[in-house]
Structure 1
């Protein structure tokens, strides 16, 4: 993540030494937590990550210590049970001075255990949630020892503190000069399985005729569209294609949007609709509306979007700014030598200092 400031050591509310547990699911949750880790000031050598294995995590966390968790889809109880077992192992084999998450299922499996062990614990709700917490956030908020944060001041309260947004890293840029019609485009929908977004490709393919277009299709069925399926692509290659593109079209996922914004692009965002089985709720509409409000993206309407809208977006730009540090609320840290609470579920002690068989550098195999 570029353009980020670090907090001075005397400003930081946490210990400057010791390992920090960073835990989240993939995609936008991972991109956000990586950005906040920089803004908080966690040195890379202190970071121990728990997330899902994919091209994004292997690229973004290169050189970090990573524990790859089993992929767990929304409401996937079978694999969530595996996450709970993994959390017991991680806490038994490692010692952490702080734990932090930007959400989804790994947050529920890990953060309550961290808090029960006396580890200062923080949960930052995703920028996808503009009007209240997600189901994960609602569960986490039931644990009073976990500090919770929203990225929207409109719904901050005594329980949910506002410290800024991941989108504070960007501002509208100057118009493209001279104006042009796009010749190269990237269309992307992320890599989460189980929620195909064929409707996006059906809509934009006719509008992009005559352009050089790369389609990243996820798990959508491309039959009859004349588009070769490309479920995923290494994150570095995708970034290079976006940098070279005149036009970026994307589903309104936080991770994909951030990738476009970091390349200086003003993306055209199509939000998934749960009525068509494209996601479990309409949070992507909230993301697209927020980025449109900030002047960072164009929120496309399926019924009315035109080629002119796409050309207009291709002639706008985004610049990276230096946001203020993300200041975590001070937690009451346990005194040196005090014994943390055992995990209520497995009763295992915190275990030896550090890194048993599950931890390795990103890019290597466990």
Structure 2
């Protein structure tokens, strides 16, 4: 039986949209390697977890986990950290740090690097399988291009190449939704939106003939949930587009599974777009359970970044709230 669930996440429009109607506690945004911001989030974690109301805390990262996991354990709250599906080759910096907090239960989404410390209970990508669909036209009437809402890291390189390639597959009356986040698109022929409410974005993706996305977990999952095979482009840390290379790991894994078409922006062709349009993605009717490593029942819990919290969580624990 699922106990009461509360959430801790960043205060932004996407979180507000995804968690409408839920009990939500907000902390200021924590950027990658934002250790000062982690410290400022600790009082919120202490306030929430010190009262004895919660039996379990589940986190999927990233920096916010560094505030909540140690505090949870200091108050005797069971702490579970599920490493992101982005981490195909080993734990993130956050994962490596929280692994040193005594008593924390750790979960990997790739059996290749799971071991004594990190348990493998499945991957959220296991919910999906690729399929083919009949394409009557190689021209798209509705297109969604989303670069996520990551703050401080633009992806202009992708936009510059997309504006050259995407028109080759557009119908004459095509509608293109550009969600560009913080990317500077000045001087480019796009009608940009910084953020799009979650419900609107998901609806647009479900109706799209073509989805192009940066290789962020949230953006990729939105496409897969809608049955779309996205074209994905990965940010490169060496170009200042992200803090590390985890987007390449996501892109490579989804491409390997046939769930996406991965290309570097400068190598993307119209044929790649048509290939993605010819595929669909199916969700398995009965995904396997994601069983936590303890047997507490009817727990009152607090999670963040969209972790679905339960005694036995489904194999989709990583729906991000920001």
Q: State the TM bucket, normalised to the shorter chain.
A: 0.7 to 0.9
Aligned-pair CA distance for 1:85:
1.5
Q: Structure 1: give runs of 5+ residues left out of the alignment.
A: 1-15, 17-41, 334-366
SS at match of 2:229: coil
Matched, 1:258 2:216: no
* Whole-angstrom distance in 1 between the partners of 2:93 and 2:77: 23
Matched, 1:212 2:170: no
Matched, 1:325 2:289: yes
Matched, 1:182 2:125: no
Q: Which residue matches 1:90?
A: 48
* Whole-angstrom distance in 1 between the partners of 2:266 and 2:189: 22
Q: Which residue matches 2:109?
A: 151
Q: Is the 8 A contact 1:262 1:320 kept in 2?
A: yes
Aligned-pair CA distance for 1:191:
0.6
Equivalent in 265, 268, 274 of residue 311 of structure 1: 274
SS at match of 2:8: strand
Q: Is the 8 A contact 2:162 2:265 kept in 1?
A: no
Taking the TM superposition and a 5 Å limit, the aligned residue runs for 1:154-173 are 154-173=112-131
Q: Which residue matches 1:131?
A: 89
Q: Structure 2: give runs of 5+ residues left out of the alignment.
A: 297-322
Equivalent in 48, 51, 56 of residue 14 of structure 2: 56
Aligned-pair CA distance for 1:88:
1.4
SS at match of 1:272: coil
Aligned-pair CA distance for 1:145:
0.1
Taking the TM superposition and a 5 Å limit, the aligned residue runs for 1:1-366 are 16=1, 42=2, 46-93=4-51, 95-178=53-136, 180-209=138-167, 210=170, 211-321=174-284, 322-330=286-294
CA RMSD of aligned residues (A): 1.6
SS at match of 1:153: coil
Aligned-pair CA distance for 1:179:
5.2
Which TM-score applies when normalising by structure 1?
Answer: 0.76
Q: Deviations over 1:35-70 (max 9, x none)?
A: xxxxxxx45xx1110011223222222222110111
* Whole-angstrom distance in 1 between the partners of 2:146 and 2:160: 13
* Whole-angstrom distance in 2 between the partners of 1:179 and 1:208: 15
Q: Is the 8 A contact 1:182 1:311 kept in 2?
A: no
Q: Is the 8 A contact 1:264 1:319 kept in 2?
A: yes
Which structure would you say has the larger Rg?
A: 1
